[in-house]
Amino acid sequence: MKLHSPAFEKALRRGVKATVRSSRELKQEFRKANKYRRQIRSTGLVRVGGSFILAAAIWFTANTTRHPATALAVIGLWTLALVPATVRNLLVTLYRANDLGTLLLLPVSDATIFRWEMQRFFRGSLYALGDLIVGFGTLCWFLKLPPVEWILVPVFAALSWAVLLALAALCAARRPRFHYEMVYSCFILLGLVMFLFWRVMGPALLNIVDPAAPALNLLLPTGWSPSLFQLTWPDRHWTTLGLVVPIGLILCTARSSFGLLRGRYKFHEVTAAQAPDLIPGEDSATAAAGQGGSRPTLARAGLTAIEEIVQSRQFLATEPWPRKGWFEKRLWQWLSPRERTLAEFAFPKGFAINRPWWIILRNFSLMAVLGFTAGLADRQVEIWIFGIGFFVTFAHTAAQVFGSGAAFQIRFNNGVKIPVHAGFPIGFRELSRVLFKCSLIQLPLLIPYVMVCAALIGHLAGVGIAFAMLAGFKAAFLFCASRFIFVALGFSSGTNDSTGFRPRTLALVAVVVGLGLVFLILGAAGLFVPDAVTAWVLWALALCDAYALFRVYGWFYHANWFDLMKIQAR
């Protein structure tokens, strides 16, 4: 039985269109239905814009440094930033696709569903291939290579694209639970800041990347394929062909990675082993302890004990996370009874503060030791170690400070996206207030971290330590204030506020985007303006702007200008 027939679908589509055109009543019904299904398909436009940004970055880099190897390093870094996004898209396509619920009802095998979803993933990854073609083509244009060598542009782009897919499959198969989305979000935020403040940050970044470009092309797996492009230059070095070996090894991992993903791709009812009776408020480890022998027996509560647990309402006891640390305890005391209920809704397993910050401190200390040790031998290696360390700890800090738990998780129902909080009597302001308190309680930890980071950056840049630490103090408050923006974006992720071309939609998008850009500009000016009084005023205005964005979005939210659901685009 053939369930998928393109010819049948095409004939059916034509027949439906012909029937609708022949009936006036059907045309009216179609217009009414299509009014609510019309969506802005901005993905393709954004990806095309990204390709033009890559082309501009390559042209500017090559024209400024006069080193084509530095332009190749830009391609390698761009591809490296696409790796977490590709991994995330692969995992979402396989395990959270919108059509999985329908496909599971069809009499098809798991292998067939896997093949269909992988076809969708490969089609979506063609945007990355387009980026690489534009990047290599821009470099060819700058170098004025002969037209014959332009034929090799798709070859090198396809090779880099294949390496990207192999790395994405390797990460998805071996480390599927890593926070790839947070890493990619940090890359986007870093790119946005660089784009807005390129005149200030551009020369400094080029001074860092230019001398390290040969090492980057040699060390980064995403830089090996672009390095082979040097064989098309007049002063080619045939030793570069040695990179074919590690490229081939990466490509060879693709088969095993996709095979591992395919082996895990099995739909079945999840059944858990029989668990011991856990007494609320007691340590679960004691309940699971055996009574001797090679096979431990499960701990069981007697009938009388169960009745006492129910009658005393002990079974309603929640996770005792407020007793796990000083900050957790202070946060619990700060919350009102209603806010404690919302906190348990947003963070079912509790909100940890002490342990994540100890991990951040450990990683930061390791980065500092490695950086200063490497600085004794090579200044450039020291800068790159600190840069990678800052990025890793910043991503972890952002995940901790901006964490929302399960508050904005999306559920699919009959082709409609519905956020979890929409199914409960939870208000916009009260849920936001809980999340704000979760961020503000961490401010005493955030301020020293950002100030020390700023001091190290000032040391590496040759800026005064006092000025850098003051800028770090301001940046910590700006970082915390951006929670207002991320909360608004969290609510926005589950609504249709950006759907369609209605005046109210355009007004909302214009206001939110405008206030967001103003926040970035005012925040940067408050950090770097030489005049102290002006800088503090601009810094305060940036804080007010973030709060104004939150309140403006809340006004649109409470005015019912959009729904708490979004029709899923097919």
Residues 517 and 372 in one domain: yes
Average pLDDT over residues 25-40: 63
Reported as a pLDDT band with limits 50, 70 and 90, residue 277 is low
- Whether 8 is in a domain gets the answer no
Residues 254 and 336 in one domain: no
Res. 34: pLDDT tops 80: no
Average pLDDT over residues 256-281: 76
Measured CA to CA, the distance from residue 324 to residue 358 in angstroms comes to: 13
Average pLDDT over residues 376-391: 81
Residues 494 and 389 in one domain: yes
- Of the candidate ranges 67-71, 265-269, 536-540, the one whose mean pLDDT is the lowest: 265-269
Res. 248: pLDDT tops 90: yes
Q: Which residues contact 276 (CB under 8 A, 6 or more apart)?
A: 284, 287, 288, 298, 299, 300
- Whether 520 is in a domain gets the answer yes
Q: What is the pLDDT of residue 284?
A: 47
Q: Which of 216, 234, 262 is the last residue of a domain?
A: 262
- Which of 115-124, 259-268, 378-387 tops mean pLDDT? 115-124
- Whether 308 is in a domain gets the answer no
Distances (CA, A) of 408 to 158, 189, 403, 489: 38, 21, 10, 10
Burial track 438-461 (b if 16+ CB lie within 10 A, e otherwise): bbebbeebbbebbbebbbbbbebe
- Whether 381 is in a domain gets the answer yes
Measured CA to CA, the distance from residue 356 to residue 378 in angstroms comes to: 32
CB-neighbour burial class of residue 422 (10 A; exposed 0-12, middle 13-18, buried 19+): middle
Retrieve residue 337's tokens: 């009874």
- Whether 195 is in a domain gets the answer yes
Residues 255 and 330 in one domain: no
Residues 257 and 332 in one domain: no
Q: Within 13 Å and on the Cβ side, how many CA atoms surround 5?
A: 9
- Whether 291 is in a domain gets the answer no
Measured CA to CA, the distance from residue 152 to residue 98 in angstroms comes to: 38
Q: Which of 262, 288, 303 is the last residue of a domain?
A: 262
Assign 3-state DSSP to the chain and report helix, strand, coil percentages, each to 5. Answer: 75, 0, 25
Asked if residues 332 and 306 have their Cβ atoms less than 8 Å apart, the reply is no
Residues 378 and 507 in one domain: yes
Compute the mean pLDDT over every residue in the chain, rounded to the nearest whole number: 83
pLDDT digits (tens, 9 = 90+) for 179-232: 788 788 778 877 777 776 677 677 777 877 888 888 888 888 998 999 888 887
Amino acid making up residue 322: P
Q: Which of 235, 262, 289 is the last residue of a domain?
A: 262
Residues 237 and 335 in one domain: no
Reported as a pLDDT band with limits 50, 70 and 90, residue 274 is low
Average pLDDT over residues 520-536: 89
Residues 330 and 250 in one domain: no
Q: What is the pLDDT of residue 349?
A: 82
Direct distance between the N- and C-terminal alpha carbons of the chain, in angstroms, rounded to an integer? 25
Amino acid making up residue 443: L
pLDDT digits (tens, 9 = 90+) for 470-509: 999 999 999 999 999 999 988 888 787 776 666 777 888 8
Distances (CA, A) of 472 to 175, 258, 281, 391, 541: 34, 44, 42, 16, 17
pLDDT digits (tens, 9 = 90+) for 51-60: 888 898 899 8
- Whether 542 is in a domain gets the answer yes
Q: What is the pLDDT of residue 291?
A: 43
Fill in the DSSP letter of residue 275: P
Cα dihedral across residues 351, 354, 355, 358: positive or negative: positive
Reported as a pLDDT band with limits 50, 70 and 90, residue 239 is confident
Amino acid making up residue 421: H
Reported as a pLDDT band with limits 50, 70 and 90, residue 292 is very low
Q: Which residues contact 435 (CB under 8 A, 6 or more apart)?
A: 346, 404, 407, 483, 487
Asked if residues 480 and 439 have their Cβ atoms less than 8 Å apart, the reply is yes
Residues 364 and 472 in one domain: yes
- Whether 316 is in a domain gets the answer no
Distances (CA, A) of 218 to 140, 160, 223, 247, 445: 21, 14, 7, 12, 38
Retrieve residue 542's tokens: 């940036």
Q: What is the pLDDT of residue 467?
A: 86
Helix axes 354-375, 379-401, angle to 10 degrees: 170
Backbone angles phi, psi at 417, to 5 degrees: -85, 125
How many domains does the structure of the chain reveal?
A: 2
Residues 222 and 330 in one domain: no
Cα–Cα nearest to 396, from 551, 224, 183? 183
Measured CA to CA, the distance from residue 125 to residue 162 in angstroms comes to: 10
**CB atoms inside a 10 Å sphere around CB 521:** 15
Reported as a pLDDT band with limits 50, 70 and 90, residue 442 is very high
Res. 289: pLDDT tops 60: no
Asked if residues 568 and 499 have their Cβ atoms less than 8 Å apart, the reply is no
* Pairing, β 566-567 against β 410-413: unpaired
Residues of the domain holding 389: 324-567
The residue with greater pLDDT, 37 or 391, is 391
Please name the helix (run of DSSP H) or strand (run of DSSP E) that holds residue 382, with its range, or none.
Answer: helix 379-401
Q: What is the pLDDT of residue 359?
A: 93
